[in-house]
Structure 1
């Protein structure tokens, strides 16, 4: 498995280019033709390929050197010593892109064509190596019109495969075409199918996309574009710091190169079971493409091996697992690059030396690395230990918080081992999701797994992976279910496996609404985030560090729970935060104007700016990264980080046409008072369930809150193990903790609102009751103790009669009930 820039890149690449060579063979010029003037040779519009060793000796001044340099030849290359046409700059990350830029300019403008003529009229094209970029550069110059029609795919292929030497020993199909070797020796092997399968047939393109899509997105995402982690069978690993950190890369910002010597030292201490006679060693930071690999006795690699594909180099067995090795490498780079912003134009050696000298590698090895390895070990353990049977009495679809509470209640009510399975798409067993917008983002003593696995938030055990094993519950992580056959009682996974069930509990939750859902221009720029899972939170933490280095400006879109809680965390991390929302006050669905005014003033005192009654209509960026949020009012906000918290949509798609779904708001899967769907063997719980709220006479509601997850999970388990119990009776409950504030709300915000307490005290302690038909139906309290909060909940549950002087009695009235 190659985690970035894999071997499959060249396979896809050669599927694209080989047939065009077959159609137009690259026949080397005769020796006489090479020595003739260009016009006499008759090749001004169609050059010929000549192998480098021959071209550089006999045709230097007649040659166009591609993706490389030559002392007397003109070039089309993205290297520093380029002798490129004046009408292009080093704006492409690849030489193929430069060639396409020149051809496009020449085709569009006679003046540009004249300027490019000395380059495009050369009778010979050649390159001193055959990585993907060099091969494609040659092909572009030999197939100019066709190349321009496939500009995007050629650029993509060149970027993905750059610095990967091709094995082109055989001619393409049909017997025509060149026999191209590496610089050191020729190699036979690759035969490619017809290019139409890639370029012209949508079905083939769709089939190949999974082979490169993830890797290409990593290329665009950040430092992983410049660092290649390779894991081969037999626990053989290496890391390559790509040459893109060596030359000046102009098409995108790059992060600085790290000296991998500290990583090698740490791995030698960690990897006690590595192959005998081998040690982890790292190339010098100033090498073109430094490698970190297990080395046996100082064996030296040939040049072809060093710059070839990872499988061309000898590899030795490590005692680490792939998860451990990846965790070590990722933590090394995350720690070393924390707080550094990418920049265009490369980094000087002096800058790199200063950066590497400033990193506290001891802190990484003693603190960050062990924590990363612990998380990797837990994930690897659960994936190795949990294997699924074909059928279960009960299956939970979805591995979120509510699934963990199903397991908790299953054990509590003696459901028995071997009968329950949970299938989750995340790499972790269930955890308390509210921690993500609170303690997980704290700058000091942040929460981390396994510390907040379900069901610690509800006062139960911490259900780490081992807990499920001990209880005989199969919890399978990292598994996507792609189809559900409700009538046939069967799930199908992305891997094609099937899982049968007697009862199904749907706990698929909800997904964040994004700006892409609103077709907001720029919504796909780097630096735009949502928050739903641990991966999102980790990405947000990294984005906060990058934002600090880029000017500290952050914009939160949305004035609800996620927007307000995350705005507080961003501010706590030292960012300059602006919150934009269309309502006239924050938390408008719950807060009255009086309550909202208190929190708005508090946020302002913390330096957080609120823009009310406005929306983000577009995002603009530089180098693919967000830089500006444009508002409907015309205002423009500088932003290196944009966090979107504008709601969530229930995940119901797998059940369309099989279960009764709520088509309009609030959405979700419709269930009855026992949480059964329209199919009696299927239950729905948590964020995806729309149930009748007894408090309002049966109004269908969907509650996106952890308390609802916990209580619906408990009720569904009770119904399955002992059918016919009471209907589900839920008291709406919401809470939040930001800065040193903490509030809770119970019931309904309907009727007349009665304020009580003192907003001006320090710390503030105030609240509100909602009175309808003479009874208290809702209560809110800021700064209350556990006893205080229990008292207001009791008043709402009892629908206690409100006295005339409720405002004066305030909290004391509820405490006296």
Structure 2
């Protein structure tokens, strides 16, 4: 079967496979988005993973559609679309592509795995060329364009060039090297005695104590299996984040639902004596943050690495913040059990009253 990429707006003009998105009228949806109608046999943690499963099940209903689309450009969605257009090469490099999609979406990586270095190079190359030639993630509104329209140019540029990077990543070294080297330095720091990780498996929380803010690919690298990261940096600078793993439907493991962070922010603000206030994002944001705020961060800034946005000094000691966070989630999750396939309605209904008190 030979596939072709089409703009999302032309979805209903021909039978179309939709990747890493949802849409009525699609011949087949291959997406890990919460509630997406991906066939049970093709579900995977990443949308690219669902595509790779589909390539191994060519008789799956809907795969006969020749058109492929997505409503946005990111690493996972791009790898999924590209894999449908290059099925033989994709299956020959399946583990690499799976690792790349997971790193791109969840920022997780086992650096001991043989594909980890190549996957990081691919992700850094995609990031670098996207910023150089187009606009950053979540940046389309600044151009007064819709993402589903603006992203077409990205797909059309990257789709014919990605195969060379899969085969010979050194061909793109000039583009991927700066971010790759920055991440590698941060990974070395993460693996050093200067950084301490404390895990709370009962609530899916990892606490990272580090001297300075770190790139996500290093910070979240060792957090697979966990869904909340509390970063405690020197000079009493902090951030709490729900990972993207709780925005999507994971196939590999159950998760706990997101709790609204208003109640936790209220507790911290009651103790905070600095000029700043603890603010939080809503639970439907792709990666909700709880942090001390100066000016409100725009979405591209929240998506950017922690070392690329301002972090302010709190008056609260780190052990007090950690205890407040642990207590908040233990109380909120006291009567819940992890499971798969939460709906957003389920998640809103699951929040105990104490978790949604006003900040």
User: Shared topology, TM-score over 0.5?
Assistant: yes
Contact 2:45 2:249 in 1 (8 A): no
1:77 matched to 2:4? no
Match of 2:230 in 1: 229
CA contact (8 A) 2:261 2:290 kept: yes
Give matches, 1:299-310, under 5 Å: 299-310=295-306
CA offset at residue 253 of structure 1? 0.4
- The aligned residue for residue 184 of structure 1 is 139
Q: How far off its partner does 1:323 sit? A: 5.3
* Equivalence for 1:281: 279
Quick check: 1:333 aligned with 2:334?
no
1:66 and 2:67 are equivalent in the alignment: no
Q: How does 1:120-135 map to 2 (within 5 A)?
A: 121-122=66-67, 124-130=68-74, 132-135=75-78
Check 1:245–1:334 CA distance in 2 against 1; reply closer, same or farther (3 A cut).
Answer: same
C-alpha change, 1:83 and 1:151, in structure 2 (3 Å) is same
Residues 45-124 of structure 1 aligned to structure 2 (within 5 Å): 45-48=2-5, 55-58=7-10, 61-62=13-14, 64-74=17-27, 75-80=29-34, 82=36, 84=38, 86=39, 88-89=40-41, 91-106=43-58, 111-112=59-60, 115-119=61-65, 121-122=66-67, 124=68
Q: Secondary structure at the match of 1:136?
A: helix
- Per the alignment, residue 267 of structure 2 pairs with 266
2:79 aligns with one of 123, 127, 136: 136
Check the 8 A contact 1:268/1:280 in 2, yes or no.
yes
CA offsets 1:492-519 (integer angstroms, 9 cap, x no match):
xxxxxxxxxxxxxxxxxxxxxxxxxxxx
Q: 1:87-135 CA distances to partner (integer Å, 9 max, x unpaired)?
A: x5463121011011001112xxxx44xx34334x21x5444142x3223
Structural mapping, 1:140-151, within 5 Å: 140-151=83-94
Report if the CA contact (8 A) 2:17-2:26 is conserved. Answer: yes
Over 3 Å counting, the alpha-carbon distance change for 1:99 and 1:351 in structure 2 is closer
Is structure 2 residue 205 aligned with structure 1 residue 219? no
Q: Where in structure 2 are the equivalents of 1:334-373 lying within 5 Å?
A: 334-338=330-334, 340-346=336-342, 349=345, 352-357=348-353
1:230/1:129 CA distance change after superposition, 3 Å: farther
CA distance in 1, matches of 2:43, 2:127: 32
Whole-angstrom CA distance in 1 between matches of 2:333 and 2:88? 43
Alignment partner of 2:57: what SS? helix
Task: Give the 3-state SS of the residue equivalent to 1:262 in structure 2.
Answer: helix
1:501-512 alignment to 2 at 5 Å? none
SS in 1 for 2:63: helix
User: RMSD of the TM alignment (CA)?
Assistant: 4.4
Aligned to 1:256: 257
Partner-residue secondary structure (3-state), 1:332 = helix
Runs (5+) with no aligned partner, structure 2: 108-122, 144-161, 171-179, 191-216
Structure-2 residue corresponding to 1:152: 95
Q: Which runs of 5+ in 1 are unaligned?
A: 1-43, 362-817
SS of the residue corresponding to residue 230 of structure 2 reads strand
Task: From the two aligned structures, give the one with the greater strand fraction.
Answer: 1
Please state whether the residue corresponding to 2:102 is helix, strand or coil: helix
**3-state DSSP class of the match of 2:239?**
strand
Q: Which structure's CA Rg is the greater one?
A: 1
TM-score by length of 1: 0.29
Cα distance in 1 for partners of 2:257, 2:17 equals 32
Output the TM-score relative to the length of structure 2. Answer: 0.60
How far the C-alpha of 1:83 sits from its partner, in A, is: 5.3
1:61–1:73 Cα contact (<8 Å) kept: no
Q: Deviations over 1:650-701 (max 9, x none)?
A: xxxxxxxxxxxxxxxxxxxxxxxxxxxxxxxxxxxxxxxxxxxxxxxxxxxx
How much does 1:148 deviate? Answer: 1.6
**Equivalent residues of 1:61, 1:72 under 8 A apart:** no
- 1:414-433 maps to which residues of 2 (within 5 A)? none
1:242 to partner: Cα distance: 3.5
Q: Secondary structure at the match of 2:223?
A: helix
Alignment CA distance shift 1:322-1:198 (3 Å)? farther
Q: Give the drift of 1:196.
A: 6.7
Aligned-residue offset at 1:309: 4.2
User: How far apart, in 2, do the equivalents of 1:227 and 1:72 lie?
Assistant: 35
